[in-house]
Structure 1
Amino acid sequence: MRTVLVTGAGGGIGSAIADRFAAAGARLVLSDLRPAELSTVASRLRERHRAEVAELPGDLADTGYAEGLVDRAGPVDVLVNAAGSYPATPLLEMTAAIWDRVQDVNVRAALLTTVAFGRQHVASRMPGAVVNISSGAATRARPGAAHYATSKAALEMVTKACAVELGGHGIRVNAVSPGFVTVDSEANPVTEAYAAAVAVNPLGRRGEPREIADAVFWLAGDEARWITGAVLRVDGGSTAGTTGLPLHWAGETLAQQGMGQDVRV
């Protein structure tokens, strides 16, 4: 039986990841800032899957909590860093405290838990897998998200750096980068107008938490045993491009014009 530690397990994506592993018979250790939400998720997993679930609520911005989380969880086979903070803060309203909070939760905590996981597995000489949850914001900024986009870009480099240093010990470190996923989050709410704007992608729909969970489950498993340092974009194709723009040339198509004419692009 694998033991899987999931941070941010009280949220939509984190809880879906926990559910996916519980359905496969894993023992779960769950972390979240909000004890009530964490207990709700844990109770649901016990009832639905008869899963063995431990709850370790706490604030990942607290260095002591982040550094000690893996050891408190006991021997852990898989670490999923799903916790994240994404407040909307216009650039001219940014403060050091707001900036640091996002970096501490989204980047530093993931690094600290991965370091602790690495130490645990090096000592036991056992292989392991880490999966970080990134975002499309890692490669594309947007208004109000300078801190968030920066943190996710940094998290992807942390993923690669950890993969390089831990690979020789049989520890794989990868990331899943979701596109816009429908979640009901009081901690990190979004408006419907925002959701409609960012959910334009080649597959024509928003993602579901279970689709991110499936990707995480696969990356953490034996079928992905030769994959490390990778960022898997699970975003309906939005990284490839957008279908939300009209043809850039409003005139006749090439077929209508004839291929012999001068064409500017």
Structure 2
Amino acid sequence: MTVARHVLVTGAAGGVGAACAAAFGANGDHVTGVDARAEQLEALMARLASEHGVRTAAEVLDLADPECGAVVARAAERLGPVDVLVNAAGIYPATPLADMTAAAWDRVQQVNVRAPVLLTVAFAAQGRGGAVVNISSGAATRARPGAAHYCTSKAALEMATKACAVELASSGIRVNAVAPGFITVDSPVNPVTDAYRDAVSRNPLGRPGEAHEVAAAALWLASDAASFTTGAVLRVDGGATAGTTDLPLHHDHATPLQVGGELAS
């Protein structure tokens, strides 16, 4: 019989975070959702409890708070020690470099990098093993206009994933990341234009991803099936990192193979 775990998911009120919370709930795990959007968060937690018979709790929190790590202890008081931490919260405002301010830069780093690290520190302070899954992005390896703060934050999150994996391995804690490509979500917090959606969702599989596909990767990384996996970044991006199908052949006809001065047939 599988023992239900306690999973804490940030950004759980919508998008990938909500999909992760739903996937773990459907798996029979108890879920604490963390988000700044109280109404949506509480509604989702109530639905998961009703549909799956699991225990849930809602923690309303702005993750830019430097004391955000305290939410781990609060969650443990309500539903027991946290077994899995999923850092899914993230913000990606559009800010051209000419308009960048210290406040705009700092808030993205606080929510996207500092909060996952502080929550991981608090998770480890429980003194037990477990798994941490960070949600990164293809932006960690590819810059784009208006997203210098966001791309930098995701590159930093991937390095923080590796650093935490190394330091926490001896504590029995695995730390990994999922890096999605463009995912179809209806987000009032992080809206995108149709033109941006069409451009960024090009990949070899020819379609945007779905939030549940990212959640499935997070569920696997947090499972015993991934027991020998830590410090990894799993790219769930339709093949976008592998390459592009948008380019034509670099020559207008097939080039024969030349071997030792002779043309091979």
Q: Which one of the candidate residues 112, 116, 119 is aligned to 2:118?
A: 112
5 Å-filtered alignment, 1:20-35, equals 20-35=23-38
Letter paired with 2:89: A
Counterpart residue number, 2:216: 214
Cα distance, 1:131 vs structure 2:
0.3
Letter paired with 1:90: P
Cα distance, 1:47 vs structure 2:
2.8
Q: Which runs of 5+ in 2 are unaligned?
A: none
Counterpart residue number, 1:148: 150
Counterpart residue number, 1:81: 87
Q: Runs in 1 of length 4+ with deviation above 4 angstroms?
A: 258-262
Distance 1:130 1:219 in 2: 8
Q: Which one of the candidate residues 91, 95, 104 is aligned to 2:97?
A: 91
Q: Name the TM-score, length of structure 1 as normaliser.
A: 0.92
Distance 2:17 2:210 in 1: 12
Cα distance, 1:49 vs structure 2:
1.6
- Post-superposition Cα deviations, 1:83-116, rounded to whole Å, max 9, x if no partner, equal 0010011111000000000000000000000000
Structure number having the greater strand percentage: 2
5 Å-filtered alignment, 1:151-230, equals 151-230=153-232
Distance 1:199 1:248 in 2: 23
- Post-superposition Cα deviations, 1:155-182, rounded to whole Å, max 9, x if no partner, equal 0011000000000010000000001110
Q: Secondary structure at the match of 2:142?
A: coil
The number of residues matched between the two structures is 254
What is the identity percentage for the equivalent residue pairs of Structure 1 and Structure 2?
62
Q: Which one of the candidate residues 138, 141, 158 is aligned to 1:139?
A: 141
User: RMSD over aligned Cα, in angstroms?
Assistant: 1.6
Q: Which one of the candidate residues 34, 43, 47 is aligned to 2:50?
A: 47
Distance 2:60 2:246 in 1: 41
Cα distance, 1:259 vs structure 2:
4.3
Cα distance, 1:127 vs structure 2:
1.5
Counterpart residue number, 1:61: 64
Q: Secondary structure at the match of 2:125?
A: helix
Counterpart residue number, 1:18: 21
